[in-house]
Structure formats: C-alpha cells, structure tokens
A and B are shown apart, each in its own frame.
Chain A
Amino acid sequence: MNELKTGLETQEYFINMGPQHPSTHGVLRLMLTLDGEIIKNVEPHLGYIHRSIEKMCEKDQYRMIIHLTDRMDYLSCHINNEAVCLAIEKALEVEMTDRIKVIRTIIDELTRLSSHQLWWGVMGMDLGAITSFLYGFRDRELITDIFEETCGARLTMNYNIPGGLMFDIHPNFQKRTKEFITHFKKKLPEYDDLLSNNVIFKQRTQGIGYLSKEDAISYGVTGPSGRASGFSCDVRKLEPYMAYDRVDFKEILSTEGDCYARYKVRIAEMWESLSIIEQLIDNIPEGDFQVPTKKVIKLPKGEFYQRVETARGELGVYIVSEGKVSPYRVKFRSPGFSTLSAMNKMATGFKIADLVAIMSTIDLVIPDIDR
C-alpha cells in the first residue's frame, strides 16, 4: 500500500500488455505491476510463437537446418544462416575462398542496414511519428531489391549453404549496391532531421530506460543496446569472422545508456555499415563461390560453437554432433532473449508510455526470443 500526498490509500495493480499489443511488435505478453502509471515490475511471458526450431534441427540434416534459422530473427536472416554455416564449416575444417568471405560480409552489412532501417521506421511509429515508418521502408526497399535479385527472396533469403553460397552474385549486384550507397548517404541525414533532432522525440527518449554497464554485462545485453551502455561486445571486433579482419571500422560505444543513446548508436552503426560495404564492394576477389562438400554432410563427433554479430547482438550456435547426418542437439543463444531479461531493470520507475520507447530501442524481434 502506498500513500499519495493527498492521504488517499492506493494499491498496486496488474495489467497485461500484449500479446496483441501493436507496440510489442509481435506476440509478446508483458505483465506489468503498476502503481498509478509508474511501473513497479515487468514480467515477460513467452511462448506464444514457439515453434521448437531447436528440436526440429535434431531431425533435419545439416543443409536443412539453415532455412529454419531464417525464421528466427527474420530481420537479420543472412547473418543467422551464416552462423550455422560457420559452425558446420568449422567442424568440417573447410577453408572458404576470399570471394565467399567478401560476398558474405557485404550481404551481412546490407542485412544489418535493412534491419536498422526497419527499426528506425518502427521506432518512430511507436512514438507517434508515422512519417518515419514510410521513409524507413522506402530506403529498405532498395536493399530488398538487391537481395531479391541476388539471393532470390526478399526476407527469408537462405543464400548460405555449408561451403559457400547458393549461387554467385548477380551481375547487377555491384552496380545496384553502389547506387544504394550513394542514395542512402543522401537520405541518412534526413533521418536526423526528422527524428533525431526532433524535440518531442528527444524528450521521450533522453534519460529514459537507463541501463548501467554492469547491468548490461551481467544480463548479457549485447549488440547496439549493450554498446550504448558502454559494454564493448562487438563480435566483429573481438573474434573477426569472414572478412571483418580486413576492413576498417569503428565499434560505436556510448556511455549514457538511455534510450537516446541506443538510438544514436544504431544510427552511427548505419554509417559504419555503409563504410564497410564501400571498402569491399569495388574489390570482390575472383574465385569460386562454393567449396565442394559432400552431398550428405556428416560432422565429426564433438561440440562446435560459433558466434556472430547480428543486428541485435551476439548470436551463438552450439552444435553437439554424434557423427550422424543430423545433430544430437542444437542450441541458439539468441540476442533478443538476453536483452529482454534486462527489461525489468530498464523500465522500473518509468511510466507505461516510456515502456513503449524502451521496447522500441532494444529492438525486439519476438520469433528470435521464442524460437
């Protein structure tokens, strides 16, 4: 029981946010304990979109696992595919050609850009600015066109296979990507004009949802959300995979740890992604786009782990093999799940409307959390 200044007795009460709430971006149910409008506790309830992807992997052959990971974090599906492929390639001890490495890195960064563009649009929409949604999707359309032409699909691309890529890049790939870069370099300052410097947006995000560096580390908050709290966790820097060791880029860090810092880190990451693509797009080395592997892949007995940096944070793939055609156990360490666990820490003491801003800035993709 709390007492307000008026002397009236108040009670804490519970409210359900979701599973069908537009700002949760999917079927996430949050059980809020409230005192008036102030959040006392947030308890996420999961399981509404559980499809048992990890269990399905146990019956599938290794080649077939990859298209399931498209459906986890669908906004960074190419990076998910790559994580599984890298784990399998590590187990098989096949060396990728330079061409594969560079193409995979370029498409990784394009995926990260498209994911951040969608996040930017949706974040504006959550906070009441529909315009940003339309503008974010406008620029994302050009990237999905590149994907559609080269990979064959716009969202669930399934372009990686163990041992390389499904097809070589389309002849138009380089031209289109360069066109996109010149286009987007002009449009990215518009994002700042529309949202970053907007006074309403700033007041709704600055100082909201603070997460300290210690909390970020102890909850395992990775990706842009962790880096906004000053936690240096970029797997691309820590354990360079593919062609990340040969490109020059900064790890964006911020110390503020509030919603606005998380927003700023993502915007700065878009600039970094653009510069990574620019460094690689002109000199894609010649070579094979596939390294021959057996038709039915059998991994040697053992345990294999590979981590990559998706648009949301660190994705880990852990494969336990018994030497058969399908794995004994597959475990995905998904970034969204860990980030969601820190929600209580971030949201306590703020208002319900701030919870929407916090949920937006930690960039939740519910199928990634539930798998």
Chain B
Amino acid sequence: MSDVAPPKRTKRRVAQLDAADTAARPETATAQIVARDLCKTYVMGGSAVHALQDVNLEIAAGEYVAVTGQSGSGKSTFMNLIGALDQPTSGTLTVDGADLGKLSTNALAQYRNEKIGFVFQTFNLLPRTSALDNVALPLLYAQDTGDAKARARVSLERVGLAERAAHEPSALSGGQQQRVAIARALVNAPKILLADEPTGALDSKTTEEIIALFEDLNESGITVIIVTHELDIAARAKRQITFQDGRVVEDRS
C-alpha cells in the first residue's frame, strides 16, 4: 500500500477554490479539527482505492464523536489522518491551527506525542513490560517528562488499575489491558483521544466499563473520537458521523 502523489496542477486549483470556499464560510471559533476537501488514495494491487473523498468536517474541542460505517468506508483512514499516522493525499486537515499536511516528520511525532492519545482494538501493549512502563512509554519521547513513573502511576489510577502497575500484559485480562492502553493514551495529557474499535476485542461487560471510562474522560474536557461499527456504542456518543465509500453520508448530533 502506498500513497498516490497528488496530481499537482489540478490539486493546486482545487486548493485555490478551497481557500475561497473557506473564506466564504464563517468558521466556528471552537473548531478544533477542520477537514477541508480531505482526500486519501491508496494504491492496492495496481488500482487506486479512494479511501476518503472530499471530506469536509469540523469537530469542536470537547466533543464526543462516534465515527461509524462499514469496513472500507474510510472511517479508520479518517481517524489515522487526525492522528497523523498517515498523510492526506490532498485537501487540508487542520488540528489546533496546525496544518498536518505541512508538518515535518519530527513535528508530526511531537504532535502525536503531545496532542493525541491512541487506543487500539488490539491494545498494542509491549510484551514483557510492566503496565507502569507501558503507560510511561509516551513520556520516553516527550520533551519535558518530569517524573515519568509518577505521572504513569497517576494515569493508571485514573483508569482504576493502580494496584496492577507491576503486572505484565500477559497477566492482565483483556479489559485490564485496554485500560492500561487508555492510561498510556492519557499519560501525556492529550487534547484528543482517538479510539479505533476499542471494544472490538472485549466482552459486553468490559465494553461497558471502557465506554463509561471514555464518557468520564470526555466529561473532563478531552475530545473523544471513537471509530466503531457497533451501533449501540455509537449511539452513546453525542455526535455520530457515518462514512460510506470514503464520503460522509450522515452527521447527526
């Protein structure tokens, strides 16, 4: 899978149009994430796959958003672009005033480190590493770490796993592992929490615990964006954005 280089001439024209468009449209002052004509195209097996096509969206700080859609609809791609794990093919994606398409790789790393907390379906914890060290991992790459262990401990307390700090992932249940992952996402005080199918590998009881935790975190002011295909989880969010074939087909608050 590789990025398609944007065909430059046409895209520049699009960008100009876009600029005029943006100027015409009054932007909400609270918009934290702004997507303008956002496109992402992959090449798979020789043919181009349009994962995102001309997505225009705004998400305000402190929102609780569920991104839904069938697999291949582009919902995960959208989230990966917000998390700067991937780069847009064309269009702009601005988070807190920073155009992610224009940042250097180092600046993107710092952005992921300071602004974003990731929660994955498969937890992605480091094996043979204690819960505490797993949680402290982002601080390893932070500019100003302070007392990393103490901060990791606070973060673990926040997800209710302080007494499991010394355990390795293999000694924790799925729900506990996901909570460690959430603690890791929280450790560097992110503004946006991105969760990609966070309950996909969990049973219904732990799912409820995790979702309650997300709601709790949202209450404290963090923007929470959950990608999910489970409608009951999506229904819990304050806003539902539905993707289909790379386009936003529904945006409900």
A binds B: no
Mark A residues whose CB is within 8 Å of B. none
